[in-house]
Structure 1
Amino acid sequence: MALTEINFDGIVGPSHNYAGLSLGNLASSKNAGKISQPRAAALQGVEKMRANLRLGLAQGAFLPQRRPNRLWLERLATSPEEADSALLANAMSASCMWTANAATVSPAPDTADGKCHLTPANLVTMPHRSLEWPETLAQLRCAFADDSYFKVHDPVPAPFGDEGAANFMRLTRAHGEPGLEIFVYGETGAPFPARQHVQASKAVARIHRLDPERVLFVQQSPEAIAAGAFHNDVVAVANETVLFCHEQAFADREGFFADLTAKMPEAQIVEVPADRVSLPEAIRTYLFNAQLVTLPQGGMALILPTEAQESERVWGWLEEMIAGNGPIRQLIPVDVRQSMANGGGPACLRLRVLADPAHIDPHFLMDEAKLDAIATTIAQTWPEGIDAEQLRNAELWSAIEKARAALYETLGLSELI
Structure 2
Amino acid sequence: MKSFEVNFDGLVGPTHNYAGLSEGNVASLSNAQDISSPKNAALQGLQKMKALHDMGMVQGVLAPQERPDIFSLRRLGFSGDDASVLAQAAKTSPAVLSACCSASSMWTANAATVSPSADSADGKVHFTPANLTNKFHRSLEPETTGNILKAVFNDDNVFAHHLHLNDNDHFGDEGAANHTRLCSEYDDAGVQIFTFGRYAFNRSMPMPVKFPARQTLEASQAIARLHQLDDSRVVYVQQNPAVIDQGVFHNDVIAVGNQNVLFYHEQAFLKTDEFLTELRQKFSGDDLHCIKVSTDDVSVLDAVNTYLFNTQIITLADGSMAIIAPMHCYQNERVKAYLDNLVTQNTPIKQVKYFDVNESMKNGGGPACLRLRVALKENELAAVNPNCVMNDELYTTLVGWVEKHYRDRLNFDDLRDPQLLVESRNALDELTQILNLGSVYRFQR
TM-score by length of 1: 0.98
* Structure 2 residue 194 is matched with structure 1 residue 183: yes
Cα deviation, residue 414, structure 1: 4.9
Runs of 4 or more consecutive aligned structure 1 residues displaced over 6 Å after TM superposition: none
Residue 415 of structure 1 aligns to a residue whose secondary structure is coil
| Native 8 Å contact 1:377 1:410 kept in 2 | no
Q: C-alpha displacement at 1:72, in angstroms? A: 1.2
Partner of 2:146: 137
Measured in 2, the distance between the counterparts of 1:9 and 1:321 equals 26
Deviates more, 1:113-122 or 1:180-189: 180-189
Equivalent positions of 1:46-57 (< 5 A) are 46-57=46-57
Distance 1:64 1:98 in 2: 10
Q: Distance in 2 between matches of 1:212 and 1:80?
A: 49
3-state secondary structure, aligned to 1:34: coil
Q: Deviations over 1:108-138 (max 9, x none)?
A: 0001111111100000000000000010000
The equivalent residue for 2:417 is 393
**Larger mean Cα displacement after TM superposition, 397-406 or 97-106:** 397-406
1:181-260 equivalence runs, <5 A: 181-187=192-198, 188-260=207-279
Q: Kindly indicate whether the alpha-carbon contact (under 8 Å) linking 1:171 and 1:238 is maintained by their aligned counterparts in 2.
A: yes
- State the SS of the aligned residue for 1:416: coil
Structure 1 residue 389, shift from structure 2 partner: 2.5
Q: Does 1:314 align with 2:335?
A: yes
What is the Cα deviation at residue 403 of structure 1?
2.5
In structure 2, distance between residues paired with 1:208 and 1:412: 27
What's the counterpart of residue 428 of structure 2?
404
Q: Secondary structure in 1 aligned to 2:305?
A: helix
Match of 2:81 in 1: none
For residues 289 and 185 of structure 2, the distance between their equivalents in structure 1, rounded to whole angstroms, comes to: 13
276-285 vs 359-368, which deviates more? 359-368
Structure 2 counterpart of 1:335, from 335, 356, 359 = 356
**Deviating more after overlay: 320-329 vs 210-219:** 320-329
In structure 1, what is the Cα distance between the partners aligned to 2:321 and 2:2?
A: 20
AA aligned opposite 2:116: P
- Once the two structures are superposed, residues 282-314 of structure 1 have per-residue CA deviations (whole angstroms, 9 ceiling, x without a partner) of 010000001111111220000011100100000
2:371 is the counterpart of 1:350: yes
Letter in 1 for 2:408: E
Say which of 97, 114, 120 aligns to 2:106: 97
SS at match of 1:173: coil
In the aligned structure 2, how far is the partner of 1:380 from the partner of 1:288? 34
Structure 2 residue 314 is matched with structure 1 residue 293: yes
Q: Quote the Cα distance in structure 1 between the aligned partners of 2:287 and 2:224.
A: 23
Rounded Cα–Cα distance in structure 2 between residues aligned with 1:303 and 1:131: 30
The number of equivalent residue pairs is 417
Question: Does residue 45 of structure 2 align to residue 21 of structure 1?
Answer: no
Q: Aligned pair in 2 of structure 1 residues 136, 398: CA closer, same or farther (>3 Å)? A: same
Report the alpha carbon displacement of residue 81 of structure 1 after superposing the two structures with TM. 2.6
Percent identity (aligned): 45
How far apart in 1 are the matches of 2:343 and 2:184?
A: 21
Question: What is the deviation of 1:25?
Answer: 0.4
For 1:154 and 1:414, locate their aligned partners in 2 and report how far apart those are by CA, in whole Å: 19
Q: Deviations over 1:343-399 (max 9, x none)?
A: 000000000011221011112211111011000110121011111222222222222
Gaps of 5+ in 2: 79-84, 199-206
Contact 1:405 1:414 (C-alpha < 8 Å) held by counterparts: no
Match of 1:80 in 2: 86
- Once the two structures are TM-superposed, the CA of residue 16 in structure 1 deviates from its matched residue by 0.2
Paired amino acid for 2:400: T
User: Structure 1, residues 159-203: CA drift from partner, whole Å, max 9, x if none?
Assistant: 210000000010101111000000000034221001111100000
Distance 2:433 2:345 in 1: 49
1:151 maps onto 2:142 in alignment: no
State the one-letter code of the partner of 1:35.
I
Q: Which residue of the partner structure matches residue 167 of structure 1?
A: 178
Matched, 1:384 2:408: yes
- The amino acid across from 1:336 in the alignment is V
Query: 1:71 deviation in Å?
Result: 1.0
Residue identity in the other structure for 2:234? V
TM-score by length of 2: 0.92
CA distance in 1, matches of 2:193, 2:436: 36
- How many angstroms apart in 1 are the aligned matches of 2:167 and 2:217? 13
Matches of 1:377 and 1:368 in 2, distance apart? 14
Describe the SS at the equivalent of 2:137. Answer: helix
AA paired with 2:64? P
Check the 8 A contact 2:68/2:415 in 1, yes or no.
no
My pick for the range that moved more, 103-112 or 320-329, is 320-329
Amino acid at match of 1:256: F
Contact 1:378–1:407 under 8 Å retained in 2: no
Q: Does 1:325 align with 2:351?
A: no
Structure 2 residue identity aligned to 1:156: L
Q: CA RMSD in A?
A: 1.2
Deviations 1:260-298 (A, max 9, x none): 112224321111110111001001000000111111122
Distance 2:331 2:101 in 1: 32
Of residues 118, 122, 142, the one that matches 2:127 is: 118
Q: For the Cα contact (< 8 Å) 1:383–1:400, is it kept in 2?
A: no
The answer to whether the Cα contact below 8 Å between 2:10 and 2:105 also exists between their aligned partners in 1 is: yes
Q: Which amino acid aligns with 1:34?
A: D
